[in-house]
Structure 1
Amino acid sequence: MKTNILGLPVKESELLVKELNVLLSNFQVYYQNLRGIHWNIRGKRFFDLHVKFEELYTDSQLKIDMIAERVLTIGGTPLHTFEDYIANNKLTVGKNISNDEKAVQLIVNSLSDLLKIERDILNKSAEINDEGTNSMMSDFISEQEKTIWMMNAWLDETL
């Protein structure tokens, strides 16, 4: 089996690059959703949510960079056009959302969809002993699960 400089199988790494680029694309859409609700939120919870949404989009910017750098690390090229992002998107695009509950529900739904992509990547990276990708996905998953729990608590809903 042919391996790359990291000792990972080349063919499987190329497939993993594709999956990571799907995640990258979806994180870009999530980021834009967060920017939109940050800008457009209205109502009595404005101050709290405006700050929270900024915290989330700042965190997603860091994750976007981490995903792109992981793609480069395992020998791929990260996607970087809106055309590619839309073609790979699996998230609901939130447009002109100003209601607090709709905004928080969009976050919950987006994170849930991102978790599905990340769990699939985690399974594939585990199969080839790609600890770098495993670690990143594990960290993303645990953070996002906690955020979903907190957002659902805010919505006063149960998992």
Structure 2
Amino acid sequence: MKLNSIGLSAEKSHILSGELNGLLANFQRYYQNLRGIHWNIKGKRFFDLHIKFEELYTDANIKVDMIAERILTLGGIPYHTFEDYIENSKVPVGKKISQDENAIRLIVDSIKELLLIERRILGLSDEANDEGTNSMMSDFITEQEKTVWMMKAWLAEDI
């Protein structure tokens, strides 16, 4: 088995970097959705939600950078064009959302899609003994599960 410069299987690292590029594309769409609802939210909950959405998009922006840097660490090249993001993402597009419940539902639906991808990557990184990717996915999953719980509580819905 050929190892890369960080001691992981070159073949498995290539596969993981491809999966991480898919996650990157989805995170970019999620980030853009958050910016849109941050800018366009209206109503009596504006002040609270405007701040919350900024907190979420700031966190998503950090995660985008972490994902891209992990792809580079594994020897891949991160996606960096809108064309790549559009072609490789499944996160729903949030367009002209200004109503609070619709915004929160968009977040929940987006994170649900991200969690599916992250769990798949977690399994692959475990098989590859890639603790760096494994740890990152575990941290993302833990944070996002809590965010979903909080958003569902805000909607007064069961998880």
TM range (shorter): over 0.9
- Runs of 5+ in structure 2 lacking a partner? none
Q: Deviations over 1:31-74 (max 9, x none)?
A: 00000000000000000000000000000000000000000011
AA aligned to 2:6 is L
Q: Deviations over 1:4-35 (max 9, x none)?
A: 01111011110111000000000000000000
Equivalences for residues 35-46 of structure 1 within 5 A: 35-46=35-46
- TM-score, normalised relative to structure 2: 0.99
- Runs of 5+ in structure 1 lacking a partner? none
- Structure 2 CA distance for aligned equivalents of residues 77 and 17 of structure 1: 8
Give the superposed CA RMSD: 0.4
* Residues matched between the structures, number: 159
Equivalences for residues 60-99 of structure 1 within 5 A: 60-99=60-99
- Structure 2 CA distance for aligned equivalents of residues 128 and 71 of structure 1: 14
- Does residue 139 (structure 1) correspond to residue 103 (structure 2)? The answer is no
Q: State the 1:118 CA deviation.
A: 0.2
- Report the identity percentage: 69
User: Which residue in 1 is equivalent to 2:53?
Assistant: 53
- Structure 2 CA distance for aligned equivalents of residues 74 and 18 of structure 1: 10
- Structure 1 CA distance for aligned equivalents of residues 76 and 92 of structure 2: 27
- Structure 2 CA distance for aligned equivalents of residues 14 and 120 of structure 1: 15
- Structure 1 CA distance for aligned equivalents of residues 83 and 125 of structure 2: 26
